[in-house]
Amino acid sequence: MSGPRLSESALGGLPADVVQPGYNRTTVKAGVVHLGIGAFHRAHQADVFDQLIRAGDPRWGIRGASLRSPDVAEQMNPQDGLYSVVVRDGSSEQVRIIGAVQDVLVAPQDPAALVEALAAADTHLVTLTVTEKGYKLDPATGTLLTEDADVAADLGGLDRPKTAPGFLVAALKLRRERGLPALTAISCDNLPHNGAALSAAVLDMAARHDPALRDWIEANGAFPQTMVDRIVPATTSEDIDALAARLGVVDRAMVKTEPFTQWVVEDRFAGERPDLASAGVQLTQSVAPWEEAKLRLLNGAHSAIAYLGGLAGIDFVHQFVAREAGSRFVNRVWDEAETTLSPPPGLEVAAYRNELMARFANSSLQHRTRQIAMDGSQKLPQRLLATISARLQKGQPIDALALGVAAWMRWQEGRDEGGAAFKVDDPLADTTRSLVERGSSPTDKALALLSLSAVFPADLVGRPDFRAAVTTQAERLARLGALGAIDALLSG
Ligand code: CS2
């Protein structure tokens, strides 16, 4: 849709039921730089910083950055950084305009501008949503992927960084030289021990340039662990058109999301810190049990739904759980995952599961199984395989989890059960494709994929019970299809 865009000057003409920033944006400082400003950041952390500014603390404006594409800058900069968070629940819809984002930098166009933003005296926090693969860590060793071309470039010199760890190290070097405090860098990706992963990547990059800088970062920086949760489906052109009809202006940066939102942050900061608790953030010493519950219940089920649903031609998460067998299958996954958890005080698993099922059933979100299927090689370990390892160590069966893994394996063939071809969207897609092409039977294909050490830990692959469970489900999937395999599991 074309027409006038959302901007500062359009705010006065918006309908009365649209919630406006309500503060003077010119007095806001950019205390936060966000790396990877996609829809998730706009619906989650930016909403929190916006609440802090509304409540009267102007230190927490955001400068956003994209590490690759100029798309978000092109959506947001012509709108003065403004965008709508559209919260949908059944037939109700609420629109709130977020004013916290000041501008969006495109790192490859001007890397020095991003380094300067990170090194600015007003900047205290860096938040990141760069996806699992953006940390550039080797899952087997936890050190930098030195064979990655961008990592290699950053190891050669940081004049024009390319990776998130490279940008942080270049900026921290400048901060140290300028006598500024270090930073608090908060990973907001769905990685286990995300704070430790970010610090490992940054410290490794720093050490290879200057061991003294590494020590300074370790002593002065902070990399708190976090758990982030809000379902944010990709925005479609229909969503943009529908909002334009309501607002009277076009918002190309809108995000749609659910009412639920949760952010658990380890209480560990360097230097100035926002009063996150006042905006509903849970601060704790121990994030791991929250993160584990969320990754294994929400994300584990999501990935299983994505591959099984995707293979069966089910486009949306709500359609999968609307089928009786679909919701029973999800409950089976949760029954298996639940025995591996150590729920933190304040998390009641039965209530959490009920709430999760209701969130998955929210049909107004239109959350695509295809979207969740992306980057499975990066997601499988923490979402399904860690749970499987914990179950097997206790001698417990893993049938539902193994069906999820087998569905990921079948997905690597790039063809759904209706025969439609699709592109496997994954950094390891070429490798997984050549592995599945090696085997002729479902068992052979599954065993070939198990050799992928970046995904499957050696101790798990060495277990006959694991291999048997996965190959059994792979054979069933090939014979019965995804829905048939689910039925067989439920009746077994
Ligand atoms: C999803 C997540 O796309 C995916 O992999 O599982 O983005 C999920 O919606 C969020 O983690 C919810 O907090």
Ligand 1 geometric centre to CA of 232 (Å)? 7
Burial of 194 (0-12, 13-18, 19+ CB in 10 A): buried
Ligand 1 pocket test target in 133, 294, 299, 367 with most atoms within 8 Å of CB = 299
Radius of gyration, alpha carbons of the chain: 23
Hunting for tokens 């998390």 — which residue is that?
Answer: 347
Ligand 1 pocket test target in 298, 352, 408, 426 with most atoms within 8 Å of CB = 298
Pocket of ligand 1 (CB under 6 A): 190, 229-231, 298-299, 302, 371-372, 379
Res 2: pLDDT: 79
Same domain for 356 and 307?
Answer: yes
Among protein residues, the one with the nearest Cα to ligand 1's atom 13 is 229
Same domain for 355 and 251?
Answer: no
Cβ–Cβ < 8 Å for 184, 271: yes
C-alpha to C-alpha distance for 101 and 82, rounded to whole angstroms: 7
Ligand 1 pocket test target in 45, 352, 372 with most atoms within 8 Å of CB = 372
Any domain includes 110? yes
> CATH number for the domain including 149?
3.40.50.720
- Of 258, 284, 310, the domain-final residue: 284
Same domain for 82 and 155?
Answer: yes
Among protein residues, the one with the nearest Cα to ligand 1's atom 11 is 229
Any domain includes 2? no
Alpha helices in 253-384 (DSSP H): 288-293, 300-312, 317-322, 324-338, 349-360, 369-373, 376-380
Same domain for 456 and 470?
Answer: yes
For residue 299, which amino acid is it?
Answer: N
Res 1: pLDDT: 66
Q: Which residues pair with 316 in a beta bridge?
A: 368
Among protein residues, the one with the nearest Cα to ligand 1's atom 5 is 372
Same domain for 186 and 312?
Answer: no
Any domain includes 3? no
Same domain for 223 and 309?
Answer: no
Same domain for 94 and 195?
Answer: yes
Res 141: pLDDT: 82
Same domain for 272 and 150?
Answer: yes
- Of 284, 319, 337, the domain-final residue: 284
pTM above 0.90, yes or no: yes
**Residue pLDDT tens, the chain, 492 long:** 678 999 999 999 999 999 999 999 999 999 999 999 999 999 999 999 999 999 999 999 999 999 999 999 999 999 999 999 999 998 899 999 999 999 999 999 999 999 999 999 999 999 999 998 999 998 778 899 999 999 999 999 999 999 999 999 999 999 999 999 999 999 999 999 999 999 999 999 999 999 999 999 999 999 999 999 999 999 999 999 999 999 999 999 999 999 999 999 999 999 899 999 999 999 999 999 999 999 999 999 999 999 999 999 999 999 999 999 999 999 999 999 999 999 999 999 999 999 999 999 999 999 999 999 999 999 999 999 999 999 999 999 999 999 999 999 999 999 999 999 999 999 999 999 999 998 899 999 999 999 999 999 999 999 999 999 999 999 999 999 999 999 999 998
Cβ–Cβ < 8 Å for 446, 403: no
Same domain for 173 and 216?
Answer: yes
Cβ–Cβ < 8 Å for 132, 426: no
Any domain includes 191? yes
Helix (H, G, I), strand (E, B) or coil at 128: strand
Among protein residues, the one with the nearest Cα to ligand 1's atom 9 is 231
Res 140: pLDDT: 73
Residue range of the domain that includes 467: 288-491
Ligand 1 geometric centre to CA of 372 (Å)? 7
Other Cβ atoms within 10 Å of 156 Cβ, number: 8
Any domain includes 317? yes
- Between CA 312 and CA 319, with CA 318 as vertex, the angle to 5 degrees is 40
Which residues are CB-neighbours of 246 under 8 A, at least 6 positions away? 15, 18, 95
Same domain for 359 and 225?
Answer: no
> CATH number for the domain including 330?
1.10.1040.10
**DSSP calls for 308-325:** HHHHHT--BHHHHHHSHH
Ligand 1 geometric centre to CA of 25 (Å)? 31
C-alpha to C-alpha distance for 321 and 232, rounded to whole angstroms: 18
Same domain for 142 and 197?
Answer: yes
- Of 260, 284, 308, the domain-final residue: 284
Same domain for 189 and 334?
Answer: no
